DNA sequence: TTGAAAGCGCTAACAT
DNA sequence: ATGTTAGCGCTTTCAA
């Protein structure tokens, strides 16, 4: 925390003494307290030696007036900004909120503050958001994914601040990166499905060519199946709407179209949950007659009639570790030695994928 | 958009010409283009008359160098910041993400940018976040709820910028407010339940004394029941964990403890969905033997076996309207006449509340 | 259409 | 322990 806010502790009804409609400045506090601007500044930042008497005079005045420091001026003068830009595709699905809480928790007592920007999975929007955020000269950038426009990469490289790309490790980071291998996640899931003896496999996912991580999982998945001579028996992609409902619909359509399927792999848990509910209603034996698996390890799954097989994407961890990298560099100036941190997602068999 | 970012359009591989590790300044662009700083500034902001020739020279230089303007300096000089502070309790539950997308969508082409802060339902944290955000001198504040510490209210009042309190209208706003009446929402639901002939009613909610909106719904609900001589027959509160799972658990416990219940009112849809799944598994007839209702109107509900009765909280609308108020004041300086905007939540009977 | 000068509100670096 | 001076990188204002 650059400025302490002792002035705003909720100690009963504060005295309002600012009838002016102009934001107060240090000078106002200085005049009200009879202390020089410089010393007022020092008190408000807990910096430098200030006598207890002066400190109290200043704090009283600041509180009485309701002074809120102007960080714009402060940042310009000190050339330091306590902001960390966090750029994510969306907060719709539960995945990014959890990454964010990992980040804020870790940043909590470093004095750094996350500021979130959303790209909607659009490279142009990412470019725009990044530009906007960099123009505030943040102390670091945490950005989802390894795929960016050339211009975005340039901005990241030239910014002269720590950059951590998160979620994914299959690619070339600009600087550091923290995530899981989605190709490997797809591969592992395919291996387990094959090992469990399933043969006729359907896939359902989102219609998002720009969701590179989903694409990589799919690639890892299909390639591994191919090695065992198995091809995806059916597939379906959706966009928009309630994921749960879409999972239900797509599943209905698919098992009608391809009745001999014995496994359904969903690119996220939400549509997987929809499919699961549908199959159970239909009285289909899961996982005997039909196996199921999703991806993400969302908390929601705990409340379903059966536990959906899934793979945890290490969301909190990713948030925490990426934040730690930024915080460390902010404090030390010593770049971490590990540039690529690969986390290992845990496979949960749940009740919908029989063990081999 | 204060600065255009034409310099960063993804037109093939940009030329990197900044070997320096110091962020570039207007002066750098000025020297590289042979145009005065002032004129460079004008070009980059599309302001004032600049000859086409000069404009091109400047844009080329800015692009070649990869110049990103320093908004900290810009904001200090111009005394204008294109930021809107948005303060919410959490993004965990699906409610705030939707409010946020309403806000960003509306702000999209006003040049304003939302910046989000999270309070975790803690007044001290709210105070801290608010202080932090105000120190960046945003053009407006959108803040959830009408209950704030005295210090927070003071800050909001003294900030000299438009303030919109959202989600709730049952109370005294600092300035403007947009939301629904949660007391009324509870009342309406109670009336419908009574009208449908249910008599033995159980309630489940979150253990959050600081979630004032949930509290108000509960009050509106119980008071209305009381008027018909009905008292809540059982109640249970949870905290933490998967809401779906908690809904399931609480429901199991409650119907065992109080077997003659004929209706369950949940303070949010997620626990309602958990309860619904549980009851259906148990083969209980819904809504004949047991009626159910939640609150929020989350999209998720579309995929459940039965449609849970619920009440829409107008989340997107709230976001959009609050943003419009800020945007309007930012443009006009003319405060809107309507200070309290009360939206009316729609009751959805779904399949779990029989009609009277 | 362009440029020069004077700050915006704060803090770094020196005095004292 | 406190005060003074000189900017930080822009934009506003005025002059050319």
Mean of all residue pLDDT scores within chain A? 92
Looking at the DSSP assignment, which residues form a beta bridge with residue B117?
Answer: B87
Kind and range of the H or E run holding A270: helix A269-281
Above 60 in pLDDT, residue B231?
Answer: yes
Residues B80-109 have a mean pLDDT of 93
**pLDDT tens-place string over residues A191-207:** 999 999 999 999 999 99
Above 70 in pLDDT, residue A275?
Answer: yes
The two tokens of residue A55 are: 């400190």
CA distances from B284 to A155, B252, B259, B349 (A): 59, 12, 12, 18
Return all residues near A258 (Cβ < 8 A) that are at least 6 apart: A200, A202, A233, A234
pLDDT class for A270, splitting at 50, 70, 90?
A: very high
Residues A277-303 have a mean pLDDT of 95
**pLDDT tens-place string over residues B280-307:** 999 999 999 999 999 998 888 899 999 9
Pick from A21, A154, A160: CB nearest B23: A160
Answer yes or no: are the C-beta atoms of B268 and B301 closer than 8 Å. no
What's residue A4's pLDDT? 32
The two tokens of residue A299 are: 């908390």
For residue B17, what is the nearest residue in chain A, using CA coordinates? A158
Decide if B340 touches A, using CB distance below 8 A. Answer: no
d(CA B297, CA B300): 8
Above 90 in pLDDT, residue A299?
Answer: no
Above 60 in pLDDT, residue B9?
Answer: no
Mean of all residue pLDDT scores within chain B? 92
What's residue A336's pLDDT? 67
What's residue B20's pLDDT? 57
What's residue A94's pLDDT? 84
State the nucleotide closest to B67 in CA–C1' terms: D9
Residues A251-270 have a mean pLDDT of 97
In chain B, the percentage of residues whose pLDDT exceeds 90 is 87
pLDDT class for A349, splitting at 50, 70, 90?
A: very high
Above 80 in pLDDT, residue A13?
Answer: no
What's residue B91's pLDDT? 82
User: Chain A, 223-252: which have a CB under 8 Å from a chain B CB?
Assistant: 241-248
Looking at the DSSP assignment, which residues form a beta bridge with residue B114?
Answer: B84
Q: Tell me the CB-side half-sphere exposure of residue A123, using CA atoms within 13 A.
A: 16
Cβ <8 Å between A242 and B131: no
Above 80 in pLDDT, residue A14?
Answer: no
Lowest mean pLDDT of B65-74, B202-211, B324-333, name the range: B324-333
CA distances from B95 to A96, A156, A259, B162, B350 (A): 15, 33, 38, 23, 20
> C-alpha angle with apex A126: A125 to A128, nearest 5 degrees?
65
Above 60 in pLDDT, residue A296?
Answer: yes
Residues A71-90 have a mean pLDDT of 97
In chain B, the percentage of residues whose pLDDT exceeds 70 is 94
Say yes or no: Cβ of B4 under 7 A from any atom of strand C.
no
Decide if A123 touches B, using CB distance below 8 A. Answer: yes
What's residue B336's pLDDT? 67
What's residue B338's pLDDT? 85
d(CA A245, CA A275): 9
Cβ <8 Å between A150 and B13: yes
Looking at the DSSP assignment, which residues form a beta bridge with residue B168?
Answer: B180
What's residue B300's pLDDT? 86
Which contacts qualify for B102-106: CB closer than 8 Å, 24 or more apart? B102/B315, B102/B316, B102/B317, B102/B318, B102/B319, B102/B320, B102/B323, B103/B142, B103/B319, B103/B320, B103/B322, B103/B323, B104/A118, B104/B323, B105/B319, B105/B320, B106/B319, B106/B320, B106/B323, B106/B324, B106/B327
Classify strands B310-311 and B347-348 as parallel, antiparallel or unpaired. Answer: antiparallel
Looking at the DSSP assignment, which residues form a beta bridge with residue B317?
Answer: none
d(CA B71, CA A274): 46
**pLDDT tens-place string over residues B310-337:** 999 999 999 999 999 999 999 876 776 7
What's residue A300's pLDDT? 86
**pLDDT tens-place string over residues B128-153:** 999 999 999 999 999 999 999 999 99
Answer yes or no: are the C-beta atoms of A170 and A146 closer than 8 Å. yes
For residue B297, what is the nearest residue in chain A, using CA coordinates? A242
Residues A276-280 have a mean pLDDT of 97
What's residue A332's pLDDT? 77
Residues A217-223 have a mean pLDDT of 98
Residue B73 burial by CB count (10 A; 0-12/13-18/19+): exposed, middle or buried?
middle
Best mutation site among B135, B239, B275 for testing chain A: the one with the most A CBs within 10 Å? Answer: B135
């Amino acid at each position: 925390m650059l400025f302490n806010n002792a002035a705003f502790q909720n100690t009963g009804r504060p005295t309002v003494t600012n009838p002016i409609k102009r934001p107060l400045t240090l000078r106002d506090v200085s005049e009200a307290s009879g202390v020089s601007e410089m010393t007022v500044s020092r008190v408000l930042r807990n910096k430098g030696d200030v006598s207890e008497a002066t400190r109290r005079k200043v704090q009283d005045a600041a509180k009485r007036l309701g002074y809120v420091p102007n960080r714009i001026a402060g940042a310009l003068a000190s050339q330091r900004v306590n902001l960390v830009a966090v750029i994510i595709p969306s907060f719709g699905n539960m995945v990014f909120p959890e990454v964010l809480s990992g980040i804020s928790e870790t940043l909590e007592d470093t004095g750094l503050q996350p500021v979130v920007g959303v790209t909607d999975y659009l490279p142009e929007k990412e470019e725009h958001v990044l530009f906007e955020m960099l123009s505030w000269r943040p102390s670091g950038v945490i950005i989802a994914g390894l795929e960016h426009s050339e211009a975005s990469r340039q901005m990241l490289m030239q910014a002269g601040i720590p950059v951590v790309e998160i979620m994914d490790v299959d690619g070339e980071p600009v600087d550091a990166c923290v995530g899981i291998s989605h190709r490997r996640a797809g591969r592992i899931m395919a291996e387990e499905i094959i090992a469990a003896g399933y043969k006729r496999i359907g896939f359902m996912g989102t219609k998002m060519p720009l969701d590179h991580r989903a694409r990589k999982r799919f690639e890892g998945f299909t390639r591994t199946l191919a090695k065992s001579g198995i091809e995806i028996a059916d597939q379906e992609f959706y966009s928009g709407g309630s994921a749960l409902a879409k999972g239900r619909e797509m599943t209905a359509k698919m098992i009608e179209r391809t009745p001999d399927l014995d496994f359904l792999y969903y690119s996220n848990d939400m549509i997987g949950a929809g499919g699961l509910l549908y199959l159970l209603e239909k009285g289909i034996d899961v996982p005997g007659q039909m196996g199921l698996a999703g991806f993400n390890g969302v908390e929601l799954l705990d409340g379903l009639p059966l536990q959906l097989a899934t793979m945890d994407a290490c969301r909190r961890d990713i948030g925490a570790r990426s934040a730690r990298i930024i915080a460390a560099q902010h404090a030390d100036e010593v770049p971490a030695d590990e540039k690529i941190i690969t986390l290992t997602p845990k496979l949960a068999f749940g009740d919908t994928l029989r063990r081999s």
